[in-house]
A and B are shown apart, each in its own frame.
Chain A
Amino acid sequence: MALRIAQKLGVFALSLIGASVLIFLITNALPGNVAHVLLGTDATPDAVAELEAQLGLDRPIALRYLEWISGIASGDFGTSPLSGDPVLALITPRVGVTAWLVALGICGSLIIALPLGMLAALKRRKWQGLAISAAAQFGMAIPVFWCGIIFALVFAVWLRVLPPNGYVPLTEDPAEWLRHLVLPVLTLALVQSAVLIRYVRSAFIEVLHEDYYRTARAIGWTPLRALLRHGVRNAAISLVTVVGLQLSSSLVGAIVVEQVYNLHGLGSLLLDKVAERDLVVVQGTVMLLVLAVLLINLLVDLSYQLIDPRQRGRQQ
């Protein structure tokens, strides 16, 4: 068990190093670095060289990478050369919006997808099952921002029951916070659940073919009782993986949804800084998001041990 955990931690560390190298290379090893952006396209080579020296960009790239990565390890994500703000100070006030959106979005997609996926598995040869599968297939094709625009049109522009955009922090006014998050969360949850329904359905159909399910049915249990009693835990093993993978697509979805509803989260920060070509802030924020994705993937990996007792037995 300890060995397996150490192995997972090793993979996590390697992935983190790999991702950080990739991010740093894209933003640093290519032409068009910070000095060029600061001085504009008509800067003389001398002026660029001088500014590069000032910012320390003339030193070897490996050295700069090590400085950057050790800074991050001690909680310093760098300072924007354009505005002079520390990256972390820009990120901190924005994390809340994005984190709430992703967390509630994933919860929402589970609430939608689990019952529908189970129903689709139980009734897979009846019209209910086919209808759910068809709806999921269509849902997978809908761009998240289109779904958001339609929801905003219906609920905010026509029915005027919910605000079309903006965000109120939870600490300021919990009721308004909820009102402002309903549409973004619903948008994200609905689009994510389309993918999830297909996985839930497959996972439960597998359970339906298992001996323990057949035995439970043979002793007179209803299909639903057998599925809930034995199926959920067995299907959970494959579903945890999917929810882990969903996290990275939820994060991407959240960045897009923020734009639809004009929420000032990490996504809008990133887009603003990409437009300003503030490379330091972009690389710092992307690194933070990748770190979050990898960390949650690690937790998902480790959680198998809790869900599946068979994994605990496999020590050798």
Chain B
Amino acid sequence: MRKAQLNIGLVLVGLVILAGVLSLLWTPYDPIRVTSNRLLPPGWPHLLGTDGMGIDIASRLLIGARYCLIVGVISVGVAAVVGVPLGMLAGMRGGWLDELTMRVADIVYAFPALLLAMLLAAAFGASTGTAMAAIGIATIPAFARIARAGTLQVVASDFVLAAKAAGTSRWGIAARHVFPNIAPLVGVQASVGFAMAILAEAALSYLGLGTPRPTPTWGAMLRDAQDVWYTQPVQALWPGLSIALAVLGFNLLGDGMRDVLDPRLREVK
């Protein structure tokens, strides 16, 4: 059962990565050029049909996978690179620094990514960059909290005490003992964070706050599908299903990793 979760997650995530990489090399049709074959139903040669501008939907879905991965990798990557050291520092130093970091994390946590994205889009104009920045900043607190909680546990252990007694520096303890021990936790958080980033990116591009047209993103494709739902309702199916399966994949991967890493959580989760 537990293994199944991890495996399904791996397969789904693998499919998204495959689609994203494939889109770099090949798509069945030009994903941007407008043609006269408008609103074709699924069939041959357009497997999933064409949209209101005569563009092949399967090609657009492949490109969409690439953009969801780019936004996910960069926003989650930035959040981890900023959040993990902050959390480790807060956990190792304690005192006012810890208090301050966690209070700031609470403030950012109460600030929804969507509102942040709106502020950034109002100030700079909407783009892939503002979407990634908003999702990244909003994800920092989750990484900082996980890293701090893990660090507190590690710091209290005997082997850190031994390392301190042997005269290992703070940096040495952080690099050799704390980080390797919290890395699995960070990995789990990254997978779950990735799922949330995909959902957030889709919502932002649906609202017109993400990657601008004509670049196809899954969210923007759903927006287009809404314009033709009386004539071609099936168009709303593909991008939505892609988002749901990608998010499900990263969530299952995260949960599966957590179960493998921490047997104590198996009962509750």
Contact = CB atoms under 8 A, between A and B. Distances in A.
Contacts, number: 144
Contact of A137 (B110, B230, B252, B268): B252
Interface string B102-116: 011011101111111
Contacts of A202: 268-269
A290 to B, nearest CB: 6
Contacts of B115: 252, 286, 289-290
Given A144-B203, A274-B118, A137 B251 contact: yes
Contact of B107 (A19, A27, A149, A289): A19
A interface: dominant SS: helix
A256 B120 contact: no
Contacts of B179: none
Contacts of B124: 30, 32
B260 interface: no
B125 interface: yes
A53 to B, nearest CB: 21
Given A15-B106, A26-B120, A30-B124, A274 B236 contact: no
A11 to B, nearest CB: 7
A143 B242 CA distance: 10
B243 A143 contact: yes
A270 B243 contact: no
B18 interface: no
27 contacts: A11-B103, A19-B110, A26-B120, A26-B123, A27-B122, A137-B251, A140-B247, A140-B248, A141-B199, A141-B246, A141-B248, A141-B251, A143-B206, A143-B240, A143-B247, A145-B203, A146-B239, A149-B236, A157-B229, A157-B230, A205-B268, A255-B114, A259-B206, A283-B119, A286-B119, A290-B115, A297-B110
A142 B244 contact: yes
B202 interface: yes
Nearest to A294: B110
Q: How large is the interface on A (under 10, 10 to 19, 20 to 34, 35 or more residues)?
A: 35 or more
B6 interface: no
A283 B116 CA distance: 10
B79 to A, nearest CB: 16
Interface residues of B, number: 50
Nearest to B245: A141
Contacts of B209: 271, 274
B226 interface: yes
Point out which of A138, A145, A157 has the most chain B C-beta atoms below 10 A from its C-beta.
A145
A256 B123 contact: no
Interface in A231-279: 248-249, 251-252, 255-256, 259-260, 270-271, 273-275, 277-279
A290 B111 contact: yes
B144 interface: no
A38 interface: no
B206 A145 contact: yes
A23 interface: yes
Contacts of A22: 107-108, 111
B226 A260 contact: yes
Given A138-B248, A141-B251, A149 B112 contact: no
Contact of B208 (A15, A141, A142, A275): A275
